[in-house]
Amino acid sequence: MPPSAPIFETRMARTDDDVRGAQTLRYSVFVEELGAQGDMVDHGARLERDQFDDHAKQLLLLDRSRAKGDRIVGVYRIIDEDARQNAGAFYSSYEYDLTALEDSGRPILELGRSCLHKDYRGGAAMLHLWQGLADVVRQSRAEILFGVASFQGTDLDILAQPLSLLARDHSAPDDLTARSHVYQPMNLVQDIDRVSAMKQVPSLIKAYLRLGGCVGDGAFVDHAFNTTDVCLILDVAQMNPRQAAIYGGQAR
């Protein structure tokens, strides 16, 4: 845990140093902890980066209690329509067919690369990061949020229970779904132990489900990132009001 009580602040990355700080945290989490790789990962500089970083926005969670200066302890990468046009695609489009979302006629916002420093997990940090994200969503007037979220590992036998649970109980409606390009069915077993299966679901995915989120059609096995991904989709108009108040901040 942090050596002193954290003082949290969220803001958008403003400088190249901010972006590099976000990429350094992403390297620590995705590369060092989870074993991810990528064409643009810089192991020498310890930066996890890709071609979308030149166009996306980075939401930062800072701990301002440190004597040596602010520390970036959380990140969310945000790709809006302008960033999509400049980048040529959403990140998720490499894994999922986003036609239904893009043709919905509603403003959409892609969220990704969400992570927290290991010293700040299991406490208030994620809540502060989500409250900052809620401000971004309100300002953007996005109506549909989406992005890929990951289970660690690519062994489908190990992940059969939680993937089957998501497919059975949390599938997106047909008019608001995304289908995996390299289709991996998620309904792998019929006999699901809901309690055990839900324990395997990462906390970020569970948080979206509590808000009223759902998952797209099929998983995507990402061997480069050593993950099995699902596409999370959240219709802001259908959010759980009580949970939205918690994540968005009671005063807001």
Domain assignments of the chain as residue spans, ordered by start: 8-248
Stretch among 38-42, 135-139, 247-251 having the lowest mean pLDDT: 247-251
User: What is the distance, to the nearest Å, from the Cα of residue 30 to the centroid of all Cα atoms in its chain?
Assistant: 12
User: Tokens for 208?
Assistant: 């979206």
pLDDT at 139 over 70: yes
User: Mind listing the pLDDT tens digit for each residue in 60-91?
Assistant: 999 988 755 689 999 999 999 999 999 999 99
Residues of the chain with pLDDT > 90, as a percent, come to 76
d(CA 25, CA 47): 8
252: pLDDT confidence band, cut at 50, 70 and 90? very low
- Rounded mean pLDDT, 4-23: 93
pLDDT at 251 over 70: no
User: Tokens for 146?
Assistant: 């989406």
d(CA 169, CA 8): 35
21 neighbors 53 (Cβ within 8 angstroms): no
Pick the CATH number of 8-248 from 3.40.630.30, 3.30.390.30, 3.40.50.300, 3.30.428.10: 3.40.630.30
Round to the nearest angstrom and report the end-to-end CA distance of the chain. Answer: 29
Provide the H-helix boundaries in 114-252.
125-140, 156-169, 194-200, 203-211, 241-248
1: pLDDT confidence band, cut at 50, 70 and 90? low
The residues with which 110 forms a beta bridge, in sequence order, are 79, 146
User: Mind listing the pLDDT tens digit for each residue in 159-201?
Assistant: 999 999 999 999 999 999 999 999 999 999 999 999 999 999 9
